[in-house]
Structure 1
Amino acid sequence: MLSKKHPSYVYAKAVAEGSINAPRYVKLQCQEFLLIANDKLAKYRIDDVLVDKIDRLLNLLIMAKGLQAGQSVKNALAGFQWLLIIAVLCTVYRDNPQKRRYENCVFEICRKNGKTFIVAVLFLLLFFLEPRFSKFYSVAPDGSLSREVKTALDDILSMSPALNGTYKGKLKFKKLRDSVKCQITDSEYIPLNYSTSRLDGKLPNVFLVDEAGALPNTYPIEAMRSGQLTILNKLGFVISTKYPTINNPFEDEVGYAKKVLDGQVEDDAIFSLLYEPDNKTDWTTDDGVLEQANPLALEVPEIMADLKKKRIQAIEVPSKRENFVTKHCNISYSGQGSESYVSMEDLQACRSDEPIDWNGREVYLGVDLSMSNDNCAVGIVAYDENTDMVLIDALAFIPEGKIDEKNKLEKINYYEFIEAMKCVACGDRTVDYAVIESFVLQLEEKLGCKICSIGYDRYNAISSAQKWNDAGLVCIEIRQHSSLLHAPTKWLSELIENGKMRYESNKLLEINFNNARCTYDTNLNRYVNKKKSNGKVDEVVAIINALYLLQQDVILKNTLDWAVQI
């Protein structure tokens, strides 16, 4: 049983009891750690011998930089850093103490919280804890980032007398340009440059993927994990701050870790510390946002004071806002150049894990038929009187012959969305409008719904609208002008903010919303500006077109009925 005086236990207990302001998912992880530390789980326990060994090793390591330079790492570690080390390295199977419980660690934390330092400390510990001839790798979006860990590791080694000198006639640690080798255990740490194809063939006992939020795809993570199939105590760290885009590999890792902590997915092999604040809207006034996203600032007052100064600058200078909110508050924020349309947190709170039942509903369609060599979209909306919710969905159409090109340019894996049936590839180098026209004509039969009307932009859609009109569907041209689009654009953002909208899980739709940027005309009418948006927004535009019709036909009618009754 772990001593109740151990810093890891003290921190976890303080978080669980609320005396330390920590976000919800950190509390959940701390509560689970306390069950193990108090010997309450039949399957797992804390290896006290290993804890003692780590304590003694950390006493030999000396801080190289920072406010506590010259002190032993053991005395300098913050509570959350102790928790990370002890939980990941010392939680073992009760019936097989040689096997660790955790194989994957997801660590989400802001800048200036000792992220690189704690990783270097972990690798130094692993030199002595892992089997002989072990290999450790770090991967980052570029070589300089990957080598940051090596630099931190070299600095600690240089400042720690116990790790210098010789052992059995050989240097204890050999620091080379591209690696660090522990000649006591013959284990080696190697920082790797990011690649899309050259990371296979490695056999990592432990790997680190740093700044995973900046990776364009999941290849480095999956390549490292694939190389661990024959390792008994495999271990991988995926670490990052937030990034402005939600379409990155780290968000997938964080999303999975949250499902595990929420009990939606059973996975005993993952440990996570997710320091993203519960309140993601009041960053300008709520000190709790800084406290929950920056655990080191709770123990080092100088860091908190500096963060508050940066917050004042971010409030006053819009150009500094995105970096501060994203990197120092761990809140995804995209506001450079124009206004982000909706908060991703608010949007994802409207997501339904269950498919929407469109059967028997009156639906309104919006179509965005862009240039035939670009993305097109069909949006579907309906009003549910029973729940007072607006239901939405969208389907994208892309040129089949340009999928690989679009994947590379847009950094989106369209094959994933095609497989999930959220995107249709048709035509060759241009979209086949006949496929979109057929989809709309078959929608009533497929979903069991009634199409009340279809909203379209005259640009590129006249021919399709004529065919739908000939088939008996009501088609209404919606002039793409801010004076008309302001009302549905504003209404959709309010529905999302107030939680009055529902959509079934659709990552491509979320990416479109995340890309969307708004501007205002001279009359302060708000509209989604395609040219200033940060990527494709066709599905958002299609939904706004459909909402225009819903707003006119349903909401306005209900208002008039109410007025007549009075």
Structure 2
Amino acid sequence: MKNPAYQYAQDVVKGNINAPKYVKLQCKEFLMIADDKLKKYCLNKERLETIEKLLSLMVMPKGLQAGRTIKDSLAGFQWLLIVAVLCTVYRDKPEKRRYERAVFEICRKNGKTFLIGVIFLLLFFLEPKLSKFYSVAPDGSLSREVKSAIHDIIISSPALAGKYNGKDKFKMLRDQITCNLTENDYFPLNYSTSRLDGKLPNVFLVDEAGALPNPYAIEAMASGQLTILNKLGFIISTKYPTIQNPFEDECDYAKRVLDGTVEDDSEFSLLYEPDNKKDWASDDGILEQSNPLALEVPEIMDDLKKKRQQAIEVQSKRENFITKHCNIIYQGMGTESYISVADLQACRASEPIDWTGREVFLGVDLSMSNDNCSVAMCSYDEDLGKVLFKTMAFIPEGRIEEKNRLEKINYYDYCKAGWCIACGDRTIDYSVIEDYVLTLEEKMGVKINSLGYDRYNAISSAQKWESEGIVTVEIKQHSSVLHPPTKWLSELVEDGKVLYEPDKLVELNFDNARCTYDTNLNRYVNKKKSNGKVDEVVALINAMYLLQQNVLLQGTLDWVAQY
């Protein structure tokens, strides 16, 4: 196969192009198909030839390649997305495409909107007559960016502009583009919380999905495709400075597919998210892995390096550069963020943790009875040289709907996943939390060393636990006391010496956590200044306090900071 998509995939797999882990995995899969090594799937070469001919008729409207054909101007990764998604078909049913959803994570100024415009133009001619295409974005201006890209290509390409049999080839209205040759329509839509149902999209695009407050737009478009043979949805975005958005969920799912933990042959993804998420100020590889277009256009790389230097020198520019030009979730120092979620997620365990026989230290955060409460446990694994932890949140069952609306998360899903427990009605049933702690040894096979708590709302429960033989320790919630475990936990995460099972709720708690420094520069997590619930972080810090005191007393760890 002689095509830039194949050459790009080969260069990525061979290491000639610096690409991140999940792009390499996707390229390996594509090469298996292109080399005709899969029984179930193959490339539709006739469709590929048609696409190449169509691209040779389209002209670049602007930019460094203005005036050249799009066929001669597309970068390797752009070819890969087009060929893989549109030309991979079932071997025994070549009219049926394999991929139904394409997740595209890439930095700003890498031609993603232009690329989607090109794909929509191709689909005008490849899809059946009377097909409908939709794009959805957080606001009207963003949604019309794709329409603008299509419009610019059409008026710049003599083969697409003008008339055919006395009729315009394309009719371009304010809110619609129609190809009169095939009678296929494209509509740019604004995001709405309730008015996207009832559409019948052959193909849809959700642009800047990271800025959407919930997954409604994605689900509404996908649910409208139930009767479509060759359904296709594109979900594209850059990173945003929060893990709580629909695009992160899509990326997590795509990663599980590529890792092989979830079987889904209909999912395709190109995730240009750098493997190294720490050394953004010095590692050129981060720019290369998150900006594939910069590898083919040197002017872009030069501009990125200038922006990086500005971000190093000017702190206010840092968040935008790291998030939008490095694809790393980052919240600036002005927000007093506690721990980078990217660093935390790097500590996820790939397999369930066996807690049997481990000595554990517990921490609890029992807030007001109508708010979230948490229990955390941690333990040191000598063989791994890491601290293991697990948290459990408790929420008032009668307030789940209210909390879902206010906090913009779905506690129903989190309860099903085993990340939190709903109990009580409008207020939390503390007996459920007390029983959870008392049955931990039996259910998890652990040995509880001690339990740390704050006097606030926990006196009664602590007395019950103590009466059952659990050693309880009151932990004063003051910066002078909390600074050592707070600092230690952040250092362990940064060094990769923490291990926990995937838990989106605790990751969200860390994402919300904000720190305050006292006059002696002692740091502690400040609930009032945090950007949402942080009860699991507070409970874990209480548990880490006990673990730290124990290992310092025993002198068993040489990597515990001496405070």
1:186 CA displacement: 0.8
2:222 paired with 1:225? yes
Shift, 1:560, TM fit: 11
Q: Deviations over 1:315-373 (max 9, x none)?
A: 11122111110100011112252443223233223222444333333322111122223
Q: Which amino acid counterpart does residue 159 of structure 2 have in structure 1?
A: A
Match of 1:547 in 2: 544
Offset, 1:494: 2.5
Provide the C-alpha distance between the structure 1 equivalents of 2:22 and 2:413, rounded to a whole number of angstroms: 28
Secondary structure at 2:103 match in 1: strand
CA displacement at 1:455 relative to structure 2: 0.9
Confirm or deny that 1:512 pairs with 2:509.
Answer: yes
Q: 1:333 aligns with which of 327, 330, 337?
A: 330
> Could you tell me how far 1:532 is from its partner in structure 2?
2.8
Who is 2:405 aligned against?
408
Amino acid at match of 1:380: M
Question: 1:397 offset after TM fit, Å?
Answer: 1.6
Are 2:104 and 1:102 equivalent residues in the alignment? Answer: no
Q: 2:50 aligns with which of 49, 53, 56?
A: 53
Q: Please give the alpha-carbon distance, in whole angstroms, between the structure 2 residues aligned to 1:164 and 1:327.
A: 35
Amino acid at match of 1:399: P
Given the alignment of the two structures, is residue 308 of structure 1 paired with residue 321 of structure 2, yes or no? no
After superposition, the C-alpha distances for 1:47-95 in whole angstroms (9 at most, x for unaligned) are 2222221122112222222222232222221111111111111122222
1:329-408 paired onto structure 2 within 5 Å: 329-408=326-405
Aligned pair in 2 of structure 1 residues 482, 147: CA closer, same or farther (>3 Å)?
A: same
Q: Give the whole-Å Cα distance in 2 for the aligned partners of 1:280 and 1:89.
A: 32
1:458-516 Cα offsets, whole Å, 9 max, x none, are 22222322333333332211111121112111221222233322222211011111222
Q: TM-score, normalised by structure 1?
A: 0.94
Q: Which moved more, 1:185-194 or 1:69-78?
A: 69-78
Structure 1: tracts of 5 or more residues without a match: 562-566
Q: Which of 141, 144, 149 in structure 1 is aligned with 2:141?
A: 144
Tell me if structure 2 keeps the 8 A contact 1:213–1:251. yes
Bigger mean CA offset, 540-549 vs 327-336: 327-336
Amino acid at match of 1:75: D
Q: How far apart, in 2, do the equivalents of 1:263 and 1:536 lie?
A: 33
Structure 2 partner of 1:125: 122
**Is residue 253 of structure 2 the alignment partner of residue 256 of structure 1?**
yes
Match of 1:376, as an amino acid? C
- Match of 1:17? 14
Equivalent in the alignment of 2:448: 451
Q: Deviation digits for residues 12-65 of structure 1, max 9, x if unmatched?
A: 222222222211221222222223223333332222222221122112222222
The equivalent of 1:523 in structure 2 is 520
Aligned length: 558
1:564 paired residue number? none
Asked if 1:465 is matched to 2:462, the reply is yes
Question: SS at the partner of 2:23?
Answer: helix
Q: Per the alignment, do residues 8 and 356 of structure 1 end up closer, same or farther by CA in structure 2, a change over 3 Å counting?
A: closer
Correspondence for 2:482? 485
- The Cα offsets for residues 358-416 of structure 1, whole Å up to 9 and x where unpaired, read as 33333221111222232211111222334333221111122223222221222211111
Match of 1:81 in 2: 78
Give the aligned partner of residue 296 of structure 1.
293
Residue deviations 1:89-138, cap 9 Å, x none? 11222222212222111111000001110011100000000000101111
Counterpart CA distance in 2 for 1:227 and 1:190 is: 15
Is 1:433 the counterpart of 2:430? The answer is yes
Q: Distance in 1 between matches of 2:64 and 2:399?
A: 53
* Displacement after TM superposition at 1:236 (Å): 1.1
Cα distance in structure 2, aligned partners of 1:353 and 1:374 = 32
- Name the SS of the counterpart of 1:251 in structure 2: helix
The answer to whether the Cα contact below 8 Å between 1:340 and 1:517 also exists between their aligned partners in 2 is yes
Which of 156, 180, 183 is 2:153 aligned to?
A: 156
The aligned counterpart of 2:66 is 69
Q: Which residue of 1 aligns with 2:561?
A: none
Question: Contact 1:365 / 1:380 at 8 angstroms: preserved in 2?
Answer: yes
Q: Residues 284 and 311 of structure 1 are in contact (CA less than 8 Å); yes or no, is this contact kept in structure 2?
A: yes
**Shift of residue 437, structure 1, vs aligned partner:** 2.6
Farther off after superposition, 506-515 or 449-458: 449-458
2:354 aligned counterpart, secondary structure? coil
Displacement of 1:527 in angstroms is 1.9
Mapped pair 1:180 → 2:172: no
User: Over aligned residues, Cα RMSD in angstroms?
Assistant: 2.0
| Equivalent residue number for residue 418 of structure 1 | 415
Q: Distance in 2 between matches of 1:438 and 1:193?
A: 48
User: Is 2:245 the partner of 1:244?
Assistant: no
Greater shift, 298-307 or 68-77, is seen at 68-77
TM-fit CA distance, 1:164: 2.0
Tell me what 2:531 maps to.
534
Q: Work out the CA distance in 1 between the residues paired with 2:28 and 2:262.
A: 17
- Aligned residue identity for 1:279: N
8 Å CA contact 1:338–1:519 kept in 2: the answer is: no
> Is the contact between residue 551 and residue 557 of structure 2 (CA under 8 Å) also seen in structure 1?
no
Q: Secondary structure at the match of 2:439?
A: helix
The one-letter code of the counterpart of 1:349 is A
